[in-house]
């Protein structure tokens, strides 16, 4: 039962943070496309780990620093919108799964299949 509640809270946090990112005035955050790939909140709601992906990748380090800098503002706004008992401390984590997926797709597409191999399979 509790895991369902945490799952719903994670979804709400992800949705609200996605909309709140547009309001951050830090140029490091504004100049980068940021996707929140997933959110994990501890059962006591004290900490929330937010996995983010950045485009272009070259600006990832700067944008992550901008997110950490705006953490207090985002935490306060998130607590106000979700009306939870505790305002979770936000821990930002870079997620490279999108880049990894793109790399794998490129490798798969680069494989050549000859007619002999295709007929055997």
Domain residue ranges of the chain, discontinuous segments joined by +: 2-96
Q: What does the pLDDT look like over 1-54, one tens digit per residue?
A: 468 989 999 999 999 999 999 999 999 998 889 999 999 999 998 999 999 998
Q: Quick check: 22 and 31 in contact, CB under 8 A? A: no
- The tokens of 79 are what? 């607590």
- The tokens of 8 are what? 């719903």
Nearest to 98 by CA among 41, 37, 56, 24: 37
The Cα–Cα gap between 50 and 94 comes to 8
Assigned fold of 2-96 = GMP Synthetase; Chain A, domain 3 (3.30.300)
- The tokens of 47 are what? 């900490």
pLDDT at residue 102, as a whole number = 81
Provide the whole-model pTM.
0.79
The Cα–Cα gap between 99 and 35 comes to 12
């Amino acid at each position: 039962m509790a895991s369902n509640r945490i799952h719903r809270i994670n979804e709400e946090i992800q949705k609200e943070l996605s909309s709140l990112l547009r309001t951050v005035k830090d140029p490091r955050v504004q100049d980068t496309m940021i996707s929140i790939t997933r959110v994990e909140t501890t059962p006591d709601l004290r900490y929330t780990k937010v996995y983010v992906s950045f485009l272009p990748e070259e600006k990832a380090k700067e944008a992550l620093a901008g997110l950490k800098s705006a953490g207090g503002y985002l935490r306060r706004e998130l607590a106000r919108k979700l009306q939870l008992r505790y305002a979770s401390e936000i821990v930002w984590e870079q997620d490279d799964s999108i880049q990894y997926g793109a790399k794998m797709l490129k490798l798969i597409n680069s494989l050549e299949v000859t007619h002999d191999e295709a007929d055997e399979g």
